[in-house]
Amino acid sequence: MDAGAFVQENKRWLAGVGIGLLAWWIASGVIGALYTTRGVAKSARDFGALTAAYDNAALAAARNESEQLQQERERLTQALAFVVADRYARWDGPADTHLFLTGRDLRQAIQDAASVRDVVVDDASITWDVATGEEQIRRRLFGLDVLDQIQQRLFAAHDRCLREDEDAAGLSQILSLKLEPDRSRNRGRPRGRRRGRAVDLGDLLVEQKVSLQFQADEMTITWFLEGCRQPGRTLVVDRWQVLKPARPGEPCTVKATLAGISFLQAESSDA
């Protein structure tokens, strides 16, 4: 397949990836601006000092801008957030037992889904690190939920492709599904901004990334990419690469990293 032809045929979907990345970049800026503005307001103990420095028109404009930033943050949060499903967020009994059973069931679900569709997948290609401690286990379960959604939407794209064209190749092989190690910056320390410290996105969100490689035809790739965006369960495209096949008629290879983002609730503090 010619790479240029692929781009021309799928411009709308590729543009969607670009828009998603742009939205995420804008979201980071908006969140940073919002919390920086809040930090300035909080650090001014004496409201009279503010009214002395700014006239009523300037204060009204500042309040209006703050409200607009808050609305934009809420809109972007709704568009980008990944809300963890109950089966991954709540459990009874030991956390490590729940993690083990959940991971085992997920592996089996992927193998079963691949088997009925004649999709090649090696159990050793589905990987994640061992987690210890309840907080780390909770984050790992969040990551497994992201991985679960990726595999479900990948197989759904395959099914949709074959419904539209029964002779289509669809998804042929899953080369890897890897939950990336948890590098959350706010792990192990209390949340909340401190006076004089720059905004840290680790205080505002938790992110879990999954790297994957798979082989499929162009239409399945298109449907999968389209399916990444779902209200409250969005998979943000962090990296996306499509490699053309060595020979015409063979499947394309996709190398990608997708992320689930959980936004944390702001904590008020006078510290």
Q: Strand (E) positions, 43-170?
A: 120-121, 126-127
Rounded mean pLDDT, 221-243: 94
Most confidently modeled range among 70-84, 139-153, 187-201: 139-153
Distance CA(116)–CA(150), nearest Å, equals 18
For the cut 60, the answer to whether the pLDDT of residue 24 exceeds it is: no
Q: Is 162 helix (H, G, I), strand (E, B) or coil?
A: helix
Question: Over pLDDT 70: what percentage of the chain?
Answer: 68
Confidence of residue 118 (pLDDT cuts 50, 70, 90): very high
**Cβ-contact 224, 16 below 8 angstroms:** no
Rounded mean pLDDT, 172-195: 71
Domains of the chain as residue ranges with CATH: 81-263 (3.30.70.60)
Q: Is 266 helix (H, G, I), strand (E, B) or coil?
A: coil
**Cβ-contact 261, 207 below 8 angstroms:** yes
Q: Strand (E) positions, 73-187?
A: 120-121, 126-127, 171-179
Q: Is 237 helix (H, G, I), strand (E, B) or coil?
A: strand
Question: Which residue type does 253 have?
Answer: T
**Cβ-contact 195, 271 below 8 angstroms:** yes
Rounded mean pLDDT, 130-145: 94
Q: Is the pTM of this model over 0.75?
A: no
Rounded mean pLDDT, 30-48: 51
pLDDT mean across residues, the chain: 80
Contacts of range 40-49, beta carbons closer than 8 Å, 24 or more positions apart: 41/66, 42/270, 43/195
Distance CA(69)–CA(67), nearest Å, equals 5
Per the DSSP assignment, residues forming a β-bridge with 126 are 177
Q: DSSP class of residue 250?
A: S
User: In the prediction, which pLDDT does 266 show?
Assistant: 53
User: In the prediction, which pLDDT does 271 show?
Assistant: 39
Distance CA(148)–CA(95), nearest Å, equals 19
Distance CA(224)–CA(152), nearest Å, equals 10
Q: Is 129 helix (H, G, I), strand (E, B) or coil?
A: coil
Out of 15-29, 53-67, 130-144, least confident range: 15-29
User: In the prediction, which pLDDT does 140 show?
Assistant: 96
User: In the prediction, which pLDDT does 122 show?
Assistant: 94
User: In the prediction, which pLDDT does 58 show?
Assistant: 78
**pLDDT digits 0-9 by tens, 45-76:** 555 555 556 677 777 777 777 777 777 767 77
Out of 59-68, 79-88, 195-204, 230-239, least confident range: 195-204
